[in-house]
Structure 1
């Protein structure tokens, strides 16, 4: 347990350093639009939640660009408990208004919750949705089953349930 806490602390410190050194005024550090997931700026359009097949995990939730979405076990139903440094490492999926359901996504499970700063975060089956800053391109699932910021992180399936790997 102590080793996990030390590793998590070191990983969080390293990630914060990398994120601080790579940021620019747009929040997009990659040139391909992927870095915009980590932007804390309010969105200009409604988010889209879609599905995609991921090796070893089955069909999981992604955004319109194929970027993996995660749930945080420390969250309560429709209430995010990921703020500050947590939200830098795990940027929330924000939307301007109601989110759009992609193929195989149950529109009835999509929702919006207000974050502490007033932004609207997309939820699915009551789980606030996040990206992982360690995923550098669409289709990566590097955040799966990580224990960071006090709880574990998982991808979700189309039924809104965590996928155990």
Structure 2
């Protein structure tokens, strides 16, 4: 009996640690995809999309803080198919109004699409853009080529095409 109680206590502590680690790993409450897996935070300004050179993946699309952005192969042109738990793991890049092109980004490829909840999500070359909750710092690409929520996820190059390893 004592062994069962100890195992139960350890399991509960482990579960609490895992849940705490998944919910907020940086203390950032800005709702920008890092430290917060919530996609419900409304942006207060237009999003800026930029590019950055990231190791073997080359020059990829990032936000204005250098955080990696991804496309989801299950999406249709300018239409997100990532909601609910998917949007918690892969928060959408939201914007207040038209997105702005940073260095290396073609403004003609940037657009906005309405999500099911009415938020404005940034698209690039027709691909809705997302963060990955497993990326905790700018420049990380932990979501690259993951198969989650029914399809694969990839970073994009400056032309708006998926980058494969």
Alignment RMSD: 2.0
Measured after TM superposition, the shift of residue 94 of structure 1 is: 0.1
Task: Describe the shift of the 1:116–1:136 C-alpha distance in structure 2 as closer, same or farther (beyond 3 A).
Answer: same
Structure 2: gaps of 5 or more residues = 1-14
TM-score by length of 1: 0.82
Task: Name the residue aligned to 1:126.
Answer: 126
Task: Name the residue aligned to 1:22.
Answer: 23
Measured after TM superposition, the shift of residue 19 of structure 1 is: 6.8
Task: Name the residue aligned to 2:96.
Answer: 96
Q: Does 1:36 align with 2:37?
A: no
**Structure 1: which 4+ aligned runs deviate by more than 4 Å?**
32-35
TM-score by length of 2: 0.82
Structure 1: gaps of 5 or more residues = 1-13, 24-28
Contact 1:34 1:136 in 2 (8 A): no
CA distance in 2, matches of 1:101, 1:158: 11
CA distance in 1, matches of 2:20, 2:91: 12
Measured after TM superposition, the shift of residue 30 of structure 1 is: 1.5
Task: Describe the shift of the 1:75–1:96 C-alpha distance in structure 2 as closer, same or farther (beyond 3 A).
Answer: same
Task: Name the residue aligned to 2:48.
Answer: 48
Largest Rg, 1 or 2? 2
CA distance in 1, matches of 2:108, 2:32: 27
